[in-house]
Structure 1
Amino acid sequence: DESMRLISEGCRSLLYLNLSYTNITDGTLQLLSRSFPNLQYLSLAHCRKFTDKGLQYLGTGTGCHKLIYLDLSGCIQISVDGFRNIANGCSGIQDLLINEMPTLTDGCIQVSNLKEI
């Protein structure tokens, strides 16, 4: 979380961010959503310490409304509610990667406007 705070202070116009295999939390995603309103590409692959609440932060307030690519591969803690948060708050997503999620159901992937899933 501290590293993300430092990045957010110096890189406000960040477009691409790969946080794969890190220990980010809901707090990190809240900071990210407030600090990078122009973010278009975000990889959270195999990050397992954030919850559905963290994904809600991406779509609320200033959020990451310009997000077009999101990688949630291996984020097995995400439920239907997390996917609903993404669908409601980040409607511009065109590419959603959801590999290695054995508990994924049809209800989780009913997200509109996607070119690739």
Structure 2
Amino acid sequence: MRIWAIWGAVFVAFAGASAARADVKMTGSFVADAACPATQAIKSGKNPGNVSTAAGQSYDLLAGNKDAPTHYLIRVPGADPERRWVKISCGRVSGGSASTMPAAPAPAEPNKPSRPESRNMSSR
């Protein structure tokens, strides 16, 4: 019985650890178009020091919150902590990966002639 409890705890720990690291590494710079909150956490909106981006300012782009990001993780020099989340609508990506969306799927094979289907032609 104890061994199952231990294995269960290990499984939960690994599942939680993988969920916590959902950010997707990105490169380049984030250029703010406006003054926007730069939060420490996306969900809670926690913003120690009430840090905001400055319009026209460029920030190191570190990651997106998922493959099709809604927020970018940027480095805000002088903030504590420096790693902060901003909404993607606050600015644009310059000189790097704007998105980590997977490439479009390969085109389908050209249409091949199909074999005629056998149909039951019984009288109606």
User: Given the two structures, how large is their TM-score scaled by the length of structure 1?
Assistant: 0.23
Name which one, 1 or 2, has greater alpha-carbon Rg: 2
Higher relative CO (Cα under 8 Å, sequence separation at least 6) belongs to 2
Please identify which structure carries the higher strand content: 2
- Judging by fraction of residues, say which structure has more helix: 1
